[in-house]
Amino acid sequence: MRENVSMSTSSPASLTNLLLLGQGSDLKSERGVSCTGEMPAASDPDLVERAVAARAALGDRALILGHHYQRDEVIAFADITGDSFKLAQAAAAQSSAEYIIFCGVHFMAESADILTSAAQKVILPDLAAGCSMADMATANQVQKCWEDLTAVGVSAKTIPVTYMNSSAAIKSFTGEHGGTICTSSNAKKTMEWALTKGEKILFLPDQHLGRNTAVLSLGLSLNDCVLWDPWKPMGGLTPEEIRAAKVILWRGHCSVHGRFSVESVEEVRKRVPGVQVLVHPECKNEVVSIADVVGSTEMIIKTVEASPAGSKWAIGTELNLVSRLAKAHLDKEILFLDKTVCYCSTMNRIDLPHLVWAMESLVAGHVVNQIKVAPDVARFSKLALEQMLAL
């Protein structure tokens, strides 16, 4: 039984090269992750012709944004591909397109709606494309946290820094309280900015990105960080622990990146001599600490592109991107770091049938799956997003 098969120049790259354990379930998988042993089957190829025709009919009236974790069949029709930061920039800079078709997940489409004009319509091809991490912080939970911080006497000197992977309601809270949004591309810069505005950071909702940035980029210690559990009174912390902390981390995480383990790193280094481990900062601190390179989605791509022929990389991020990198760099050996085939199931809800349906509906004059953030929520969310873009 193969546990992790690389994609190398010795054989054509294909998704089947990443079928690590075959069919079956994985008891460690969470909501938002599928570990079926194989990638989803490609959509009906006849749909490609319909997609081409619908895209041509829409012309400049539509802009299709595609996140790097999307399926190949969707990325093929994206006008711009990128991570959440790059796509937020693209949405903010786009003023002419009537429709922004966002091939990503719900919180990304919300941000696009906030950053575009009232005359533009943001479309999410499948409304079920959510994010388990974003769901780990609700508006009521965050408000209760802030009330507790106020009771302890630290809210006035605490700046919220919220990861892009959050609902518009949480972004609105952040903007209302003088904070900013961040992505994995600019987390260091945003946290540095926050510490010039206050003494503490409330980092929402990804504990791992917050911890890794604080320790590895800002030079803080693990003891400077505390973990706020929204399901426990006072976050499970004492007033003394809260007052002593520099960074208050929300108890949330990415269900995909959270799967990568120290054992995965040790196993691949033993099995593939000379391999370099390249991981996303949403991974656990113990994994990030022993990786060779740590970087955002965009940095992962650039690192592989800049590496010499013959390089060996074990990559800890979403499988669609790893597979795409392997097919694009046949002169390098690229492996998926996880021990089995796991992908972001919510990202994969955006498939060619949904994209074709959305485009054909727009061609016919029917606006479907429009994402529209309430004006009162959008107001403060926009402040936080624009603060991020200004840094």
Query: What CATH number is associated with residue 327?
Result: 3.40.50.10800
Number of structural domains (the chain) is 3
Question: Last residue of a domain, which of 220, 254, 288?
Answer: 254
pLDDT confidence band for 2 (50 / 70 / 90): very low
Rounded average pLDDT over 287-294: 98
pLDDT confidence band for 21 (50 / 70 / 90): very low
Rounded average pLDDT over 195-199: 98
pLDDT at 92: 87
Q: Quick count: other Cβ atoms within 10 Å of Cβ 160?
A: 29
pLDDT at 126: 95
pLDDT at 13: 36
What is the per-residue burial (b if ≥16 Cβ within 10 Å, else e) of 209-230?
A: bbbbbbbeebebeeebbbbbeb
245 in the same domain as 160:
yes
pLDDT at 94: 83
CA distance 35 to 182: 29
224 in the same domain as 147:
yes
Distances (CA, A) of 347 to 108, 254, 318: 11, 13, 10
138 in the same domain as 249:
yes
In-domain check, residue 388? no
Model pTM score: 0.87
Rounded average pLDDT over 58-70: 96
The DSSP output letter for 261 is -
In the predicted model, what is the mean pLDDT of the chain?
89
In-domain check, residue 214? yes
In-domain check, residue 334? yes
Rounded average pLDDT over 6-21: 33
Cβ(198)–Cβ(159) below 8 Å = yes
314 in the same domain as 301:
yes
In-domain check, residue 281? yes
Tokens standing for residue 110: 């919300």
298 in the same domain as 202:
no
310 in the same domain as 285:
yes
In-domain check, residue 37? no
Rounded average pLDDT over 132-141: 96
pLDDT above 90 for 12: no
pLDDT above 80 for 40: no
Residue, of 348 and 278, whose pLDDT is higher: 278
pLDDT above 90 for 81: yes
**DSSP letter for each residue of 53-76:** HHHHHHGGGEEEEEETTS-HHHHT
pLDDT above 60 for 39: no
290 in the same domain as 182:
no
pLDDT digits (tens, 9 = 90+) for 214-262: 999 999 999 999 999 999 999 999 999 999 999 999 999 998 999 999 9
333 in the same domain as 242:
no
Question: Last residue of a domain, which of 206, 225, 254?
Answer: 254
CA distance 154 to 158: 6
**Which percentage of the chain shows pLDDT scores above 90?**
80
Q: What is the span of the domain harbouring residue 358?
A: 46-131+348-376
pLDDT confidence band for 14 (50 / 70 / 90): very low
pLDDT at 25: 40
pLDDT digits (tens, 9 = 90+) for 88-133: 889 888 888 999 999 999 999 999 999 999 999 999 999 999 999 9
Question: Last residue of a domain, which of 254, 282, 301?
Answer: 254
pLDDT at 41: 63
In-domain check, residue 31? no
In-domain check, residue 139? yes
pLDDT above 90 for 29: no
CA quadruple 109, 110, 114, 117: dihedral positive or negative? positive
250 in the same domain as 146:
yes
Sheet with 80-82, edge to edge strand ranges: 80-82, 62-67, 99-103, 121-123, 370-371
pLDDT at 16: 30
352 in the same domain as 303:
no
Rounded average pLDDT over 360-370: 97
pLDDT above 70 for 38: no
pLDDT confidence band for 44 (50 / 70 / 90): confident
127 in the same domain as 143:
no
In-domain check, residue 284? yes
162 in the same domain as 66:
no
The answer to which of 7-21, 51-65, 224-238 has the lowest mean pLDDT is 7-21
